[in-house]
A and B are shown apart, each in its own frame.
Chain A
Amino acid sequence: MEPLEQIQRRWPEIAAHLADARPGRTWGLTQTPARTLRVGEINITSCYDREREASVQASRIPEDSEEAWVYGIALGDIQRALLSRLALKRLHVVIMSSAVARKALEVVEHPWLDDPRVTVHFGAEVGVHEPFTCAPACVWTAERSCQPLRDRLLGALAAPMIRAFEAKQQVAIEQAIAANAERLAVDPDVETLVGRHNGADFYVVAAGPTFDEVADWLKSRVSGAIVIAVNSSVLPLLHKGIVPNYVVAVDPAEALVEHFGGLGSTDALTDVPLVYPPGLHPRVLKAWPGTFVKTNLTVPVYRDLCPNDPKGQLFVSGTVTHAAVDLAVVMGAGRVYLVAADFCFPSARSHARAASSSAAVSGPKMFTIDGMGRSVSSTLNLVGYRDELARYVTGVSGVEFLRVGRRGAVIEGIDFVEGAP
């Protein structure tokens, strides 16, 4: 029986997805030591030794596991490797793209489809289950409806590296807390800002590339509202003649000092508070010309190192933009406008042109969807931060979230302002 007929017989709802699939990419079989399917510009498996590759990928599942999840069907090599294990009783195989799966089912035989231990799922309908492995190229080519799952999978695969990075940061944060002790003893706590601007409109301004497109719109709107800048957007805002009401910086890296290095005349900032965690680099604190408010952060390293002081804490999961949004909520925002929080690289740039960290972007990246429905380059980290923000927003009640900068990545649950760029 043909693979597509096997699918139709056992999982008719999956067959319906496959029937709707539109190719949309170029396809072909490679002329290589091991033939594989080429999807657009990438190979779906090894083109030298598929069996050896599948054995590496299957090794992510413990030998004695009775159940396993495989994300991406590829050419069936991982499934074959896992089903050869006597201990395995249930194998869940997840389609990440109907078009890729359909083509893969057409070009080679898939005897694993007959195995009673197998269940096939569609990626838009399942989450990340352990233990899992994946056919990585199928994850990278996930169709739009499966991209939330793709992002969670990539996050799970990167978790060990993130943990190692956080451990490295801990040493720098410990040193900074000791160096900042004098200031921390006298600066007000973020708790003192709770409800400070109840019901106000807030503009939380990041320094994504769309800043340059939305700055004029922003300038016409900020009068009477509260503007919160992140460290990298202070300079672009000042260039446009907009003085923020609050600035937030959380990253312990010394390099942040560059964001405050070219401020020029700083008279306008004298009364502007920098909201900072105890582990901010002392040179960054020294470079800030305004006042200071200390805050704790919802990250493990601060829970361990200074659990009780500062008392107030802001949400952070990878980016200062999270803390800036949470600060608006803490201060009583009725509406929060996210400005230039792009989480991607429109025009292949990293930041707004006036930001000190602005640079052309090249090299390996992943793709997501922008506010106009187009594909745009991003990175695993940025997409992860975007999704963390979307999760945070779903947990906040009584605040309306909107955004501007349509060439930024779509954030689930946050609409763009009608008529704004």
Chain B
Amino acid sequence: MSERLLEQIQATVRHFRLGELSMGFEVMISFVDGVQRYLEVEGDAEKTMSFGPVLSMILEAQQRGDFLLVADLLEYEVTKLVRQ
């Protein structure tokens, strides 16, 4: 499951870096679903807690239209958490 999540992250990041916002949003919806399922399957409360702050930062950046920061947070912060 983490492999699938990492693929979704990579696809979202690539779309945002290239300015392909519509496609980025579409994959990001799948990513959000994916991360919820991933955390349910993992069933690790500590891990779930560790995702909270970065997901909040992503949401805030998205609302500001700061999509390169969204890409950064996905690529460098969320990826690190998934791989841990």
Contacts and interface: CB of A to CB of B under 8 A. Distances in A.
Nearest to A160: B23
Nearest to B21: A380
A53 B20 contact: no
Contact of B65 (A42, A44, A133): A42
Main secondary structure of the interface of B (DSSP, over half): helix
A375 interface: no
B69 A47 contact: yes
Contact of A136 (B25, B67, B76): B67
Interface in A151-165: 153-154, 157-158, 160-161
A140 B20 CA distance: 11
A114 to B, nearest CB: 27
B18 interface: yes
Contact of A364 (B18, B21, B26, B75): B21
B78 to A, nearest CB: 12
B68 A46 contact: yes
A60 interface: yes
Interface string A83-122: 0000000000000000000000000000000000000000
A48 interface: yes
Nearest to A364: B62
B18 A45 contact: no
Interface of B: 14, 16-23, 25-26, 62-69, 71-72, 75-76
7 A-B pairs closest in CB distance: A136-B19, A42-B66, A41-B64, A158-B22, A56-B17, A48-B72, A48-B76
Interface of A: 33, 41-49, 53, 56-57, 60, 133-134, 136-137, 139-140, 153-154, 157-158, 160-161, 362-366, 380
12 contacts: A46-B17, A46-B68, A53-B17, A60-B18, A134-B18, A140-B19, A157-B19, A157-B21, A161-B20, A161-B23, A364-B21, A364-B25
